[in-house]
Structures are given as structure tokens and as C-alpha cells.
Chains A and B, each alone.
Chain A
Amino acid sequence: MLKYLIQKEFKQIARNSFIPKILIALPLMAILVFPWAANQEITHIQVAVVDKDHSTYSRRLTEKIAASTYFRLTVWTDTYENALSNVEAGKVDIILEFPSDFEKQLLTQNRAKVYIASNAVNTMKGGIGSGYMTSIIRDFADEIRTETLPVTYSHPSLSILNSQLFNPYGDYKIFMIPALLVMLLTIICGFLPALSIVSEKETGTIEQINVTPVKKTTFILSKLIPNWILGFIILTMYMLLAWLVYGLIPAGNLIAIYFIALIYIFVVSGLGLVLSNYSSTVQQAMFMMFFFMIIMILLSGLFTPIASMPDWAQTVTLFNPLRYFVEAMRMIYLKGSHIMDLGKQLLALSLFALFFCGWAVMSYRKTN
């Protein structure tokens, strides 16, 4: 019985005009486009230099900044007002101003001032940009100090050696790829079967099925199983693509990935069924999914670190299954964590699976 129902589902999926295309496009987009778009490294910061000094030193510092890949020198002017009007026009993110006696002060008093102003409309760009610039200027100051001071004077200095564990080049894409899986599995195994059930409600075909000897659980399983199968195929495809395109191979065990994915699939399937029980039209269901998807993704740590959220938001993330899946995937993929290290995530996901599946069964009984 179940076999024929599943056969019918696959036939309908294959005949749908856009679901097969989405199933191909989604993992491709997730690998080829999203990691680039979700990149939070700041580059190409537009700089305006207001050089009132026109000295060798001011020119040296300017060249040093221009040589950095983070900055792009776009405006070179004499007045601050001129630079500011460029900021207002959106052509410049940061202004670096040299006062007219910059070199003179530097050489005579051993200290000189420069002025940095950043456009904080995009707080991230402004903040990180002025941080980068400060460190370049500090570097420059060290350079000058060693040049001007006799070698015999020993000068204490601290330098920091930075090494990025598990992602040596600090590549943002490698950080995003394992986590983006969460979107694929949520859509394919959670939302697609739910939409398919709601659309049977909407077209009335569910009435015709309900008067047959087909059991309700059989009917629901026939909706879930094809999507579980598709989910695993797409998971595999996704990991292959990550390897082909970025050479990214999971540092941990593949079985651990599939196992966690399986539990996560139960979570989202349950959630999808709950939503399908409370909506009678596809439009309603879509809207609810959209609502939950956005909130859950923003509170999952997928794009922004949970640790930097305010306390109340951090507490909310504890009730977000996506958070645990994102954490687990990053740990296995990048750190090579063993399944035993993921006790917290496994426990949380299993509880969510029980909770949503239980709720789905209860609400199903009530509404039908």
C-alpha cells in the first residue's frame, strides 16, 4: 500500500513544473552563490585622503594604505569638506586627514596626529575599516621608530602572532558551507512534504483518500519518505559539490554527518507537519514557513555569532533546533569532532524531534 502511495508521490514530484528544478538549483546555489554572498570579510573600503601636509611621510603612509588589499584610494584632496561631501555622496567610507604640520611634528616632537573619520551607516564596514586602518598606522609608526632611533637603543615592543585554528586562512566560505546545509534540509524535508499535504487539503483530494482504507499514518508517511530520500540524495550531492568546488572534505566522520542529518530531518518533518495541520491553504502554510524560517535562521548563528547576541536573544536560540544543527555541522566538518563530542547537540535535536513529532500527532488528531 505504502509503496503505491510513494510511487504516486514521486510521479507527482517529477511532473511538477518547478519542484525538480528547485531540487537541482538549491544545492547548486547553496554551494556556488550563497557562501560568496554571505561573506562578512570587509574589503574594498573606499578611502579619501585629506593631505594638508604634502610631505614625504604623509605620502609614505598613504601609499602603505593604498597597497593594502582592504583599501581603495578613491579621493585625494586638500580639504576635509571636500572629502566629507564624497562621504555624503556614498563614494567614500573612511576619511584619513593629515594636519599641515604632520611631518614637522613627527620629526621634531616625535609624535604626530592623524585624523580618521568613518561612515557608520554601515556599522560593520565603518568599524572594521577604521580598525584595519589603525593597525596599519601603528605599523607605520613602528617602522619610523626603527628608522629614526639609533640601533643601540633597545626599544621594547609587543607583536602578536595570530593563528586561526581549524580554518587556517580564515576563509569565510569554509565556515558557511557546512552550516548552509541547514537551509537545504529544512526546505526539502520539512517544508516540501508539509506543502504537499496542505495542497491535497486545498484541492480536496485528501477527502477522496480519507474514504479509502488508507490509514492516515500511511498517507503521511507516503508524503515524508520521498522527501527523506530526496534529502539524503541532496545532502550527498552537496558534500560532493563542496569537495569539487572548494576542496572541502569533512574533517570528521561521514556517518556522524548522516546520523545528525537524520535526526534533524525528523525535527523539521515534525515541524512541517505541525504547520500543515494548522493551515488549510498553501498560501497560509507558505506564510507561516516564511515567518519561522527567517526567525530561526537569524537566531541560529548561521550568519552572526550567537555569543555576540544580547543575553535574551541567546536564551531564545536555546529553543531553536537550527542552532544545534549548525553547531554540529561546523564542529564535524571543520574541527573533526567525534559524535561523542556532540552530546549536547544530539540530545537537543532528539528532544526537538520528539517534541515536534508528538505535537504533530496531537494536533493532527484534534483538527481532523
Chain B
Amino acid sequence: MIEIQHIDKSYKEVRALQDVSLTVEQGEIFGLIGPDGAGKTTLFRILTSLLLADSGTATVDALEVVKDFKELRKHIGYMPGRFSLYSDLSVEENLNFFATIFNTTIEENYSLIAPIYSQIEPFKTRRAGKLSGGMKQKLALSCALIHKPAVLFLDEPTTGVDPVSRKEFWEMLKNLKHEGITILVSTPYMDEAMRCDRIALIQQGRIMTIDTPQQIINRFGNKNSTARTPGQALEECFINLMPPTP
């Protein structure tokens, strides 16, 4: 579904991505796990045709991100890390607006967003800027889904969201997976990484390893681990894989 080959990207002196290659299968929840500044957002921006890579190729849903960007944009949903809906428009107006610019209506794809949108529907006349963090995130997800995209890109969707809402959010992603939507999600939280089908550990623009979370723990975990949760075990793997700092 997503094919990335040898992508490089530099901002002046900083090498944001170095020789990144990965493949995401249809209907998979794929996690990009890494600290701030690892290059996750840069990769998202390249895949959503907002940024050009210096070299390398990428296809999403069999569409080339550079050449076929016009067609590509009809097939993907993107939720940027920062809340970027119109805060002076109401919840319903935002959703309606994004539906119309994708040439569709709320009614047409209501079934897809219903489990999410129904939770904020009671506040549909409220301005988006006045919503709580968790509700903003639900609205943003609804807007990203309104045109029934084949692939969903979620850049740190749960950063700054309370634990209950985070848990709910991952339940929603599971439902979307059952609808056949491929999801590429980034997160700095290891417990969330455990919920992905496969993950890529990314550090300083390089992918260190790609596998299922359990396999990564088996391969790189500490032998006599004191970790009490899988998330903590995964975190240890991350530290083990870190290149030694000079």
C-alpha cells in the first residue's frame, strides 16, 4: 500500500531522513516510533505530497507521490500533529467544508465516521477552537476520514491528549482497520507502539529496525529485563539500538 525506497531529505545542514525504505501492507496499522526530531513529520510530509524528497521514490496506493500528487490527494487522509482546522468555524461547518472540497457530503460517508463523530455531534454548533483537546482530535479525525480515504496518515495524533481519550482513539483506529483502511501513525509513546501491527524504530533520520513489536522485544530486548510492561520492554530495545553518542 505504501512503498518507500531510499528517501533522503536534508534541511540545510540537518539530514532529516537518510536512506529510508519501508513497505506498509494493505489494512495494516504501521507505527513510526521515535523521539522528537527523528524525522517522522518530514516523512509524513513527503508521503502526503507536501514536501519534495531530495532523492528516492515513494508510492502510496500505487500512486507516485511526486508525479501523481493530484490523484493521490483524493485517496489519502492526513491529520497533522498540530490541530489545523478552522477554529472560527463550528464543528459541523468544519466537517461540511472538508466534505465539500472533497466533493462529497457528510451523509455519504456518515457510517464510516459515525462511531467517532457521534461523540462530538452534541456540540456540533460549537466553534472548533472552543473544543477540549480530546474532542478536537476526534473532529480532526472525522475531517480526515470524511472522503473515505484508502490510507490514513496520523502524525502524533495522541500527543497532548488525556489517557482515557488516547485509549478510545486507538479503539477507533482498530475499527478503521477493519474497514480496510491502511494507517500510518507516528507516536513517541511505547505503550501505543505495542498496539500497532508492525513498527519502525526511527532515530536521527535513520530507520533502525522494522518488525512486529513482539519480535523487536524478542530480538533486541534485555535478557534479564526488569520491565513490567511490554511498553517498557520496547523502550529498552530502543535504548539498546541507539547509536553510541560520540
Contact = CB atoms under 8 A, between A and B. Distances in A.
Interface in A1-41: 1, 4-5, 8, 11-12, 15-16
Contact of A204 (B49, B82, B88): B82
B73 interface: yes
A209 B89 CA distance: 15
Contacts of A1: 100-101, 103
Contacts of A213: 70, 73-74, 101-103
A367 interface: no
B85 A208 contact: yes
A205 B88 contact: no
Contacts of A204: 80, 82-84
B93 interface: yes
A159 interface: no
A205 B100 contact: no
A37 B187 CA distance: 60
B87 interface: yes
User: What secondary structure prevails in chain B residues at the interface with A?
Assistant: loop
B64 to A, nearest CB: 16
A236 interface: no
B76 A12 contact: no
Contacts of B100: 1, 4
Q: Give the 5 A-B CB pairs with smallest separation, nearest first.
A: A204-B84, A211-B78, A4-B100, A208-B84, A204-B82
B123 interface: no
Given A11-B89, A11-B93, A205-B86, A212 B102 contact: yes
Interface residues of B, number: 25
Nearest to A16: B88
Interface string A175-209: 00000000000000000000000000001111111
24 contacts: A1-B101, A8-B86, A8-B89, A8-B93, A11-B89, A12-B86, A12-B88, A15-B88, A203-B87, A204-B80, A205-B84, A205-B86, A206-B84, A208-B98, A208-B143, A211-B48, A211-B73, A211-B76, A211-B78, A212-B98, A212-B101, A212-B102, A213-B74, A213-B103
Contact of A212 (B73, B83, B87): B73
Given A12-B86, A211-B49, A211-B78, 20 more contacts: A1-B100, A1-B101, A4-B101, A8-B93, A11-B93, A203-B84, A203-B87, A204-B80, A205-B86, A207-B50, A207-B80, A208-B78, A208-B80, A211-B48, A212-B101, A213-B70, A213-B74, A213-B101, A213-B103, A214-B101
B110 interface: no
Contacts of A134: none
A210 interface: yes
Interface string B83-125: 1111111000100011011110000000000000000000000
A11 B70 CA distance: 28
Contacts of B83: 204
Contacts of A206: 84
B97 to A, nearest CB: 6
Interface in B34-92: 48-50, 70, 73-74, 76, 78, 80, 82-89
Contacts of B74: 213
A211 B98 CA distance: 11
A321 B102 CA distance: 40
Contacts of B87: 203
B44 to A, nearest CB: 10
Nearest to A15: B88
A208 B79 CA distance: 8
B41 to A, nearest CB: 10
B149 to A, nearest CB: 10
A121 to B, nearest CB: 49
B95 to A, nearest CB: 12
Nearest to A208: B84
Interface string A211-252: 111100000000000000000000000000000000000000
Interface string A272-294: 00000000000000000000000
Given A1-B101, A4-B100, A210 B50 contact: yes
A4 B49 contact: no
Interface in B182-208: none
Nearest to B83: A204
Contacts of A12: 86, 88-89
Given A211-B76, A211-B78, A8 B84 contact: no
Nearest to A210: B50
Contacts of B86: 8, 12, 205
A208 to B, nearest CB: 5
Contacts of A211: 48-50, 73, 76, 78
Contacts of B101: 1, 4-5, 209, 212-214
B206 to A, nearest CB: 25
Contacts of A203: 84, 87
